[in-house]
């Protein structure tokens, strides 16, 4: 086996974190994620098979020192062979996290324990059943909430992802943050981001500065130390709090300078940035029995300094001009 090398881009950023989308199907229809037009998920023949997911991931871990893999989608837990995928990936030795809408979590707690999966990021944008239904188009708040509580009880590291959209859920930020007093979790408030077909508008984004002002009206809070490569800036509302809250400012103040992420879409394209137009067809090369090494290196070298080279300041974003996929087809 050849000696592993670090995946460095032309700005000296080291990439050791792979976000792996395994499907673009989903049992939710979140309004900020799915495109507005009728949505068709990719035919299964074009998706990476479980063995392909494993072999391609293995190259990243063994040749390029990737030490962290996050499985995402679409909704990763809807894939029929999810169990096989997790079992295979867990043999690679990288830390594994799952990003999920939480609906099917109860089916997989034992598998996660067996495979050493500790980190669960669960999306929940409202604590109000009706609003939850409006955002996701599914009346499944209670199932998700029960699974969140069960995940905490079972000792998983739980982060709750909340996409904040003006006029939808910013009024719930205090209620969400209050959860961090009682539960050992991280609440993560994410600025609404533009993707193909998601009707993004600048005025729907609540910048983190505004979120902090809102929080200050309800709580005193203190800064908590962030880890290297963290996308969220973390705070604690009181010394007795079991958990923390974090703010993710992709739009108002990006963290591109510390980016260590590479993405693979469920149809096997490597994306070097969430907002990048460039895609590198790993699956095609893999199916042609070609080596992926040079293609992966090329994909990293072509990485832009910031936001896929497509925009910088939020003020100047024109979502119609950004060349990308819908979020569900990228994998968050």
Q: Is 190 among the residues that bind ligand SAM (CB under 6 A)?
A: yes
34 binds, among ligand SF4, ligand SAM, none (CB under 5 to 8 A by kind): ligand SF4
Among 33, 69, 214, 237, binds ligand SAM (CB under 6 A): 33
Burial class of 87 by CB neighbour count within 10 A (0 to 12, 13 to 18, 19+): middle
Site for ligand SAM in 196-215 (CB under 6 A): 198
Q: Is the dihedral of CA 167, 170, 175, 176 positive or negative?
A: positive
Q: How many residues does the chain have?
A: 332
132 binds, among ligand SF4, ligand SAM, none (CB under 5 to 8 A by kind): none
**Distance, CA of 222 to CA of 228 (rounded, Å):** 19
As measured in angstroms, the least distance from the Cβ of 251 to ligand SAM is 9
Burial class of 119 by CB neighbour count within 10 A (0 to 12, 13 to 18, 19+): middle
Burial class of 228 by CB neighbour count within 10 A (0 to 12, 13 to 18, 19+): exposed
96 binds, among ligand SAM, ligand SF4, none (CB under 5 to 8 A by kind): none
Q: Which is nearer to ligand SF4, 9 or 125 (CB)?
A: 125
Interface with ligand SF4 (CB under 6 A), residue total 12
Half-sphere exposure of 121 toward its Cβ, with a 13 Å CA cutoff? 20
Identify which range of 67-75, 204-212, 244-252, 270-278 contacts ligand SF4 by CB under 6 A: 67-75
Q: Rounded to whole angstroms, what are the CA distances from 328 to 72, 141, 311, 325?
A: 10, 20, 21, 8
Q: Rounded to whole angstroms, what are the CA distances from 106 to 21, 48, 98, 137?
A: 21, 25, 14, 21
Query: Which token pair is 302?
Result: 């072509």
Beta-strand relationship, 261-264 and 244-248: unpaired
Among 33, 165, 208, 237, binds ligand SF4 (CB under 6 A): 33
Identify which range of 12-20, 185-193, 207-215, 263-271 contacts ligand SAM by CB under 6 A: 185-193
Q: Is 243 among the residues that bind ligand SAM (CB under 6 A)?
A: no
Identify which range of 27-35, 212-220, 266-274, 299-307 contacts ligand SF4 by CB under 6 A: 27-35
196 binds, among ligand SAM, ligand SF4, none (CB under 5 to 8 A by kind): none
276 binds, among ligand SF4, ligand SAM, none (CB under 5 to 8 A by kind): none
Q: Which is nearer to ligand SF4, 26 or 66 (CB)?
A: 26
Residues that bind ligand SAM (CB under 6 A): 26, 32-33, 72-73, 75, 99-101, 123, 161, 163, 190, 192-193, 195, 198, 327-328, 332
């Amino acid at each position: 086996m050849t000696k592993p090398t670090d995946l460095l881009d032309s700005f000296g950023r080291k990439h050791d974190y792979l976000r792996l989308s395994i499907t673009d199907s989903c049992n939710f229809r979140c309004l900020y994620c799915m495109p507005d037009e009728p949505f068709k998920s990719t035919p299964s023949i074009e998706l990476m098979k479980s063995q392909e997911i494993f072999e391609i991931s293995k190259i990243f871990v063994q040749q390029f020192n990737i030490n962290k893999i996050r499985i995402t989608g679409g909704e990763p837990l809807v894939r029929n062979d999810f169990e096989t995928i997790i079992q295979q990936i867990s043999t690679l030795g990288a830390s594994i996290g799952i990003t999920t809408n939480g609906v099917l979590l109860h089916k997989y707690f034992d598998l996660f324990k067996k495979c050493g999966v500790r980190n669960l990021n669960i999306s929940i944008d409202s604590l109000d059943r009706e609003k939850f239904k409006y955002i996701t188009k599914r009346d499944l708040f209670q199932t998700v909430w029960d699974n969140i509580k069960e995940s905490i009880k079972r000792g998983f590291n739980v982060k709750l992802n909340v996409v904040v959209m003006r006029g939808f859920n910013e009024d719930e930020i205090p209620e969400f943050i209050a959860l961090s007093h009682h539960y050992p979790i991280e609440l993560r408030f994410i600025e609404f981001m533009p993707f193909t077909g998601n009707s993004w508008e600048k005025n729907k984004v609540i910048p983190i500065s505004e979120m902090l002002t809102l929080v200050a009206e309800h709580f005193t809070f203190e800064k908590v130390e962030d880890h290297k490569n963290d996308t969220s800036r973390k705070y604690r509302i009181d010394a007795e709090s079991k958990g923390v809250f974090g703010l993710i400012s992709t739009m108002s103040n990006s963290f591109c300078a510390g980016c260590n992420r590479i993405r693979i879409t469920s149809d096997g394209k490597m994306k070097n940035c969430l907002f990048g137009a460039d895609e590198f067809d790993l699956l095609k090369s893999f199916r042609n029995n070609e080596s992926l090494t040079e293609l992966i290196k090329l994909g990293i070298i072509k990485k832009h300094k910031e936001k896929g080279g497509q925009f910088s300041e939020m003020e100047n974003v024109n979502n119609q001009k950004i060349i990308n996929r819908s979020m569900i087809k990228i994998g968050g």
